[in-house]
Structures are given as C-alpha cells and as structure tokens.
Structure 1
C-alpha cells in the first residue's frame, strides 16, 4: 500500500514538473501587450506542413474569449461568426498546416485604460514566410484584460480589406 502511494506521488510530481515548466515558458508570452500580440501572430504562422502549438494558442485567451471574423455576404450584408479558440482550431487548424500561412503585423494602435486594452492591429497574410506580396490584409480589433498577473485576449474581431473598404492610411505603416 505504501509503495503504491509513493509511486502515485512520484508520478504526480514528475508529470507536474513539465506542465509547470511549460506554464512558466508560456507566462513570458503574456507578461505584456507586446509579447502577447507577437505570440498571437507567431503561433498561427508557419510553413506548409508545420504543426502549430495549439496549447500556447489557447493559453493566450481568456476562458470565455471569442474570435469573431466578419465578412461581406453575396447579398452585400455583413455577417459574423463567433468562435471559441477551440472552434477556431477546429475550423482553421488543418488549413493553416496544409497550406502554409504567415500573418504579420504591419501597424499597431493601442489604447489602455486601467486593466483593459484595445489594440487595432493591421495585418498582412502570406502563404510563405519569404513572400513579398500578401494575399490578404485587414485589421484585428483585439480586446485584452490584465488580471494583475498577466494579459488575456478577451476577443479578436477582424475584417479583411476589400476594394470597398481599403485600410485607412492611419492604420498603415508610415
């Protein structure tokens, strides 16, 4: 009985150490606004065939967070799709790996009040890291919360650029 308890205790200790180490590594990724936004772009980006770190992706988000793409429908109206981080992984994860995808931030506007922040982050998307012309651009509207220990992404609401809605100059690099 004693050996069984000791074995279970040791098993718990040795399996908890890697999880704690991973959390400590991830904690660096959410310590400030720059690191969480950079990590957001980095974690979804990668060459064709490269698996993404979905545990890190989920770690960036508040448990009730939403990812909300907007798009213009065929009849000209706007539609929204509300997804949890897990829903996003299910909907887009395989596509990102099968096709290659790099989303790069090209401009950022930040407003902070107390423990909340709003980031307007202009992006350019490429299929390969070395591509020079993006296949799409747009703006991520990212809302974040600092709980006193770390930043959490609460929502990402985005819209791709179109002929009808080009990105305004104030949201582009100088």
Structure 2
C-alpha cells in the first residue's frame, strides 16, 4: 500500500511539474493599455510598431491591439498605368502583405505634422509622414498623409481606419499639412 501511495504521489508531483513548465513556456500576454489611453499615445504607438531597421521584428500583437475588430487599412493612389486604385485590408492582411518586406528592407515611418479634429467619442487625425529604410537615411524614399479615424469607447482609443495616400509629383503634400 505504501508503494502504491508513493508511486501516486510521485506521479502527481511529476504531473504538477510538467504543468508548471508548460505555463512558464507560454508567452504571457503583454499589457498594451498604456498605448491606447490618448489619441497621442495611440498614434505614436502606430508609428513606433511599424517602424524598425532591417532585420528587426515588429510587435504585431501590439499592432493588432491598436485596431478595433472591424477596422480597415485602406491604401489609395495610382498604379504604374496612372489608374486610380484602392485596397482594403484588415490588420492581419496588412501584416501578411507588408510585414516581411518591412523586416527584409527596413522601414522607418516618421510623423512630420498632425492635425486633430475631435467631437464626442470620435476623432479624425491627418498625419503627414515620411518613410525611410533606415534611421540613418538622410532623405525619405516616400512621403504622404495618413487619414486616421479613431473611436473612444470610454476606456480606450481604437483605430477604426487608416486611409493613406502617398505623395507624387502630380499629388504634392499641401503646405498646410507640412511643418511650419
């Protein structure tokens, strides 16, 4: 009887140890709540999470946390044939289409200027940006404007949409959306 009891206790101890190891190996979910307390922290987090040097992984969990479950990312502009096109993406679609390219090439997006219009629980941000492959680059390879719509649900800010257009020689950024 003592042997059976001892074997049972050893089995329980082994099982408990295995359960603890599995718990330790799981990633503990990060608390991103500080990133969405204000419009400013939400927009700054968006730029920070997509930016990184070549080879630097992005925190895609934070990226997805910034967006409302029904959010869209929308790119617009003209293709090589100068025909207008638009593309709607969910955050996961954006990660799939751009994530590897950003890591392989480096992508740093910096905000140059911001205008904010808010009413009640909604806000619209026009955010002028410039993009670099590395923080050491002197000239951006791209500039444009992000039109960002946000919602405050009483506890946090959610990005509802990011709708952007890149600057071209036919579509320069107006002076009122550039730093003074």
Q: TM-score, normalised by structure 1?
A: 0.88
Matched, 1:83 2:89: yes
Matched, 1:18 2:28: yes
- CA-to-aligned-CA distance 1:109-131 (integer Å, 9 cap, x gap): 00000000000000000001121
* RMSD after superposition: 2.3
Aligned pairs for 1:54-73 (under 5 A) are: 54-73=60-79
Displacement, 1:77?
A: 3.0
Number of aligned residue pairs:
168
Displacement, 1:132?
A: 1.8
Match of 1:31 in 2: 37
Q: Match for 1:151 among 142, 152, 157?
A: 157
Distance 1:61 1:11 in 2: 33
Once superposed, which parts of structure 1, at least 4 consecutive aligned residues long, lie more than 4 Å away?
A: 6-17
Q: TM-score, normalised by structure 2?
A: 0.85
> Any idea what SS the aligned residue of 1:123 has?
strand
Structure 1 unmatched runs, 5+: none
Q: Computing the radius of gyration over CA atoms, which structure comes out larger, 1 or 2?
A: 2
Distance 2:145 2:74 in 1: 12
Distance 1:17 1:135 in 2: 36
Q: Match for 2:139 among 118, 133, 142?
A: 133
Match of 2:7 in 1: none
Displacement, 1:60?
A: 0.4
